[in-house]
Amino acid sequence: MSMTYAPGEPTQPAGAPPSLQVRLALYRRMVELRVFEKRVYDVFLQGLVKGTTHLSLGEEAISAAYGEAMRKDDWTFATYRGHAHTLSRGVPMAPIMAELMGRRGGLMAGKGGSMHLTSVEHGMMGSYAIVGAHLPIANGAALSAKYRKSGQVAVCFFGDGTTNIGAFHEALNFAAVWKLPIVFVCENNLYMEYTAISAVTAVEHPAADRAGAYGLERILVDGNDADVMYETATRTLERARSGEGPSLVEALTYRHAGHSRADPGKYRPDQEVAEWMQRDPIDIYRARLLSQGVDASVLGRIDSDVADAVAVATEVAKASPPPGEDLIMKDLWSDGSSTWRN
Amino acid sequence: MAELSLREAVGRAIAQEMRRDPNVVFMGEDVAAAGGVFKSTVGLLEEFGPERVIDTPISEQAILGAIMGASMTGLRPIAEIMYSDFFAVCWDLVVNQMAKTRYMTNGQVSLPLVMKTGNGGGLRFGAQHSQSIENWAMAVPGIKVVMPSTPRDLIGLFAASVRDDDPVIFLEQKALYASKGEVEDGEIVEPLGKAAIRRQGGDATIVTIGTMVPRALEAADRLHQEEGISCTVIDLRTLIPLDAACVLDMVSATGRLFTVEENPRVLGWGAEIASIVADEIFYDLDGPLVRIATPYIPLPAAGELEDKTIPSVDAIVETIRKRMG
């Protein structure tokens, strides 16, 4: 199966679509990400979440597909926009919501916050809030897998803006030279923070057009199509696992909201927003499943199950106490202390 | 027993840990086939092979990222950052990533890694290959900072650093690579956070580390012979964790503190030591706390200029003589 695409044209990969079971799981996950992120938006407005949040509304297909395709012991490295990637590894909703609310029951007991979600037991190896830093770190996990011959793969998600920082290029070269078992997934939502990526980048497709510089295949896909993303995920994971080395995927997508809580997203043309809202990954997938004979009641049941689960998780998080001052001086060092002198 | 140079001790230290633990890997620029720019890692590639002794591109972020990710997933990696000045191009990995990840994740992640580096001046390399970055490293909670002054300590402290479950910056003083010392055969491990009292005297306590240790010892001998001033000399050996108790004990006993620091004066480690002493044993002091440090300038290259910039034996003797007078 070829993964080579004409320049500038996202192309559907060849091959059979995933099984119905996988497709229903993908649908459920995307709905979960959507409803969860909308609830995060609500509870932020209610004053229950402080600081900031970066939502993945509109970008659900990418992390959902990789989450579904990855092996349980594979590793995810994500950015500050990492709620979706954490959920996609099967981390329960309640501790994530509690972390955002700064509660003891949070995934990191309130010490990390929205931008640093981590759950090592689920292979969620961290959300990194300095653009580009986690690409080299994900390489290290891949190096470890290769050295230990464990068959594990690291998947590293990042935004389009990351493609212009030095660590991106250092990491891509390093991964290619050692043929590391890693997949780099660029979620190109067309805007860095407020500035269009196209306005500040020498090539049209900030990741795909640079793949050749590292001897990698040019992979540009529709990040709003869950079937395309799932096939891309299975194929790039297989390539990594079989020792053929890294892949760099550019998945085109769009955020439905601004960059962060502080951003209403007004810099984007109304027409562009309207067009991308027509390409909502969940609407597209629901329509496709219905047209292919999946009963509306099956999808409706998933929708209501997810809504219930998000409601319960929100209440569990709200009921969790504050972190407690006993945590402040703990766990700087591996002995659990923060002692720096005697 | 053998006499080793500090340079030779580096290779022996890495080999000791790599023989002991197959999860120890070592990477850096020119460290494998070339044996290191300081020729301190010659023979490691031949003994341990290219999967464990790895030549990297000139990509310091990729190097530190690789050891961080590897340390999160079962390995105990060692990286060489050729000159400590180069930490400036990969400091994000140290400051924002390694130092904070364990704390932010509520203890989910351990980072058993070592960043070894050639540190300090004295070799006429100029301002971008001569800095002493120990005070940069100390300024970030979450990084251990180690700086041996003898070949034996280098092996023992390196072993402890590799075996430690937290990230360590291991500072090898370039000016000491050629210096020699007796090293016994067999495994050597020295605990982190324990200072060494190199000389005892009753009149003043000199607290120092790294390249300044032999200078302080020579200055103490001269002060004794020429002025009858008898000094204790403490080699801190590690800055984080800091053996403050040893400093407090010795300064209490002598009543005077002098720090000798290679790092630039402003916010150098000696300021923290002076603050601890002033705060906790002020009434045991018989005179001012005095810091002898490199001034607040980049290091000049020419020998005459560099020698007048970094604390010399003469400068240490002169300062202590004056301030004890």
Cβ separation of B105 and A118 shorter than 8 Å? yes
Residues in chain B, pLDDT under 70: none
Domain membership flag for residue A97: yes
The answer to whether residue B188 sits within a structural domain is no
Q: What angle do CA A302, A304, A305 make, to 5 degrees?
A: 65
Cβ pair B93:A330 closer than 8 A: no
User: Are residues B241 and B201 part of one domain?
Assistant: yes
- Is the domain of B25 the same as that of B67? yes
Indicate whether B232 belongs to any domain.
yes
The full DSSP string for B186-247 is S-----TT--EEEE--SSEEEEE-TTHHHHHHHHHHHIIIII---EEEEE--EEETB-HHHH
The distance of A247 to chain B (nearest Cα, Å) reads: 17
pLDDT of residue A3: 38
Asked whether residue B189 is domain-assigned, the answer is: no
**Pair B231, B122 in one domain:** no
Q: Would an 8 Å CB–CB cutoff place B76 in contact with chain A? A: no
A105: nearest Cα among A331, A340, A327, A334? A327
> Looking at this protein, which amino acid is placed at residue B212?
M
pLDDT score of A159:
98
Test the A interface: residue of B25, B27, B75, B106 with most A CBs within 10 Å: B106
In a domain, B191, yes or no: no
Let me know if residue A319 belongs to a domain.
Answer: no
Partner B contacted by A128 (CB < 8 A): yes
> What is the mean pLDDT for each group of 10 consecutive residues in chain A (342 residues)?
41 70 98 98 95 95 98 98 98 98 98 97 98 98 98 98 98 98 98 95 98 98 97 97 98 92 88 95 98 97 98 98 97 98 98
* Inter-chain CB proximity A133 and B102 less than 8 Å: no
Give the residue ranges of DSSP H helices in A70-184: 83-87, 93-100, 134-148, 166-177
> Do B29 and B116 fall within a single domain?
yes
In chain A, whose CA is at the least distance from the CA of B74?
A: A144
The last residue of a domain, from among B183, B210, B244: B183
A266 touches chain B (CB under 8 A): no
Domain that holds residue B19: 2-183
Residues of B in contact with A129 (CB under 8 A): 96
The domain of A188 spans: 20-209+225-313
My answer on whether B140 and B201 are in the same domain is no
**Cβ pair B117, B64 in contact under 8 A:** no
CA–CA gap between residue B152 and residue A137 (Å, rounded):
33
Task: Name the residue with tokens 């931008």.
Answer: A115
Boundary residue ending a domain (B149, B183, B217): B183
Report the SS3 class of residue B320: helix
Give the minimum alpha-carbon distance from B26 to chain A in angstroms, rounded to a whole number. Answer: 12
Known active-site residue B129? yes
Count residue pairs from A and B with Cβ separation < 8 A: 163
**CA A294/CA A278 separation, integer angstroms:** 22
Same domain, B125 and B254: no
Cβ atoms within 10 A of the Cβ of A72, count? 9
Distance CA A164, CA B279 (A): 48
Which member of B12, B76, B102, B129 is catalytic? B129
The number of folded domains in chain B is 2
B207 shares its domain with B318:
yes
Specify the pLDDT at position B325: 83
Give a yes or no: residue A133 inside a domain.
yes
Contacts of B142 in chain A (CB under 8 A): 332-333
User: Does residue A47 belong to any structural domain of this protein?
Assistant: yes
- A10 domain-assigned: no
At B28, list the tokens: 């850096």
What tokens were used for B20? 């002991």
Residues B168 and B252 in one domain: no
Cα separation, A101 vs A314, in Å, equals: 10
Q: Which of A144, A341, A342 sits opposite B74 (nearest CB)?
A: A144
Q: Given an 8 Å threshold on Cβ–Cβ distance, is B97 in contact with A128? A: yes
Q: Does residue B156 share a domain with residue B75?
A: yes
Last residue of a domain, one of B183, B208, B238: B183
Residues 123-182 of B with CB under 8 A from A: 141-142, 164-166
Residues 6+ away with beta carbon under 8 Å from B13: B154, B155, B158, B159
Q: Which chain B residues have a beta carbon less than 8 Å from that of A179? A: none
| A342 near B CB under 8 A | yes
Nearest to A130 among B62, B74, B92 (CB): B92
- CB atoms A333 and B102 under 8 Å: yes
Chain A residue numbers touching B164 (CB-CB < 8 A): 334
Q: Identify the CATH number of the domain in which residue A148 sits.
A: 3.40.50.970
Q: What is the pLDDT of residue A11?
A: 53
* Gap between the Cα atoms of B227 and B5, Å rounded: 33
* CATH number, domain containing residue B93: 3.40.50.970
Which CATH number goes with the domain that contains B203?
3.40.50.920
- Based on the structure, what is the number of domains in chain A? 1
B70 and A141 within 8 Å at the Cβ level: the answer is yes
Residues B216 and B135 in one domain: no
C-beta atoms surrounding B297 within 10 Å: 11
Contact between B45 and B16 (Cβ < 8 Å): no
**Does residue B16 lie within any of the structural domains?**
yes
In a domain, A328, yes or no: no
Q: Are residues B146 and B24 in the same domain?
A: yes
CB contact under 8 A, B241 and A341: yes
Same structural domain, B177 and B220: no
The pairing of beta strand B168-173 with beta strand B231-235: unpaired
